[in-house]
Amino acid sequence: MRFAFLSDIHGNATALEAVITDLNKKDVDHIVVLGDLSFRGPEPKRCLNLIRSLDASVVKGNADEWLVRGFNEGEVPKEALDGLNKERDWTLKRLNDEDLTYLSELPSEMIVDRGQDQLIHAFHATPTSLFENVYPDETTKIEHQLMQKDEADVYAYGHIHLPFVRSFHGKNVINPGSVGLPFDGHPLASYIIADLEEGRHTMQIHRVPYNREHVVELYHQGGYPNIETMGRVVFYGVKP
């Protein structure tokens, strides 16, 4: 069975459309979206509409939680809080109650079982946190914090905006990186396709070009409150 894993779209509907177009050529059986759907991009509403049209399995990310209930103390640096609140207010003006209900009701984790022999444990950051960072080289944290369900064969998460695939004890841990805001210096939209068959896993990271200039222009047209920073992230694939 062929799965596509997408994460961290962050309101970049142009990048998401490019990925969906690419997926339509790949004969994918099911799509898994690993959170952070709308916040910090110029088209939050269109992203939600696109995602909800996919019949995908979707889990909640920290940015989805922030849109619903705001920022709790300690979740973001104090010096960034004012700017993030302005970005959140801007985004909320473009969503309605139904959109926020959809985000609030997303599960924080799930087992994806589409009748295949291999089970997928999907979550945004870790199975117990929407916020904790676990990086590709942190072997101990990967084994103890991500690989918590012994019955799973694949552990899929997002959050760090860095794509990778690693194998442990005959199982795979994968991160598709970010569709909308890559942080690895490679600004193309990122996702993973996984072919899961009995006794065999094939994982491949895909990078998809899209019109980044158009996205930056959308930030300007919409009067986004943090245009310079977000435009740099989109155009160069770097952290804000």
DSSP 115: S
| Dist. CA 171–CA 8, nearest whole Å | 23
What sign does the dihedral 231-237-238-240 (CA atoms) show? Answer: positive
The CATH number given to 2-110+176-236 is 3.60.21.10
Cα–Cα nearest to 212, from 184, 239, 240, 179: 179
pTM > 0.75: yes
Note down pLDDT in tens along the chain; length 240 residues.
999 999 999 999 999 999 999 999 999 999 999 999 999 999 999 999 999 999 999 999 999 999 999 999 999 999 999 999 999 999 999 999 999 999 999 999 999 998 777 899 999 999 999 999 999 999 999 999 999 999 999 999 999 999 999 999 889 999 999 999 999 999 999 999 999 987 788 999 999 999 999 999 999 999 999 999 999 999 999 999
The end-to-end CA distance of the chain, in Å, is 36
Pairing of strands 30-33, 189-197: unpaired
* DSSP H helical ranges for 72-211: 78-92, 97-104, 139-141
Report d(CA 66, CA 51) in Å as an integer.
19
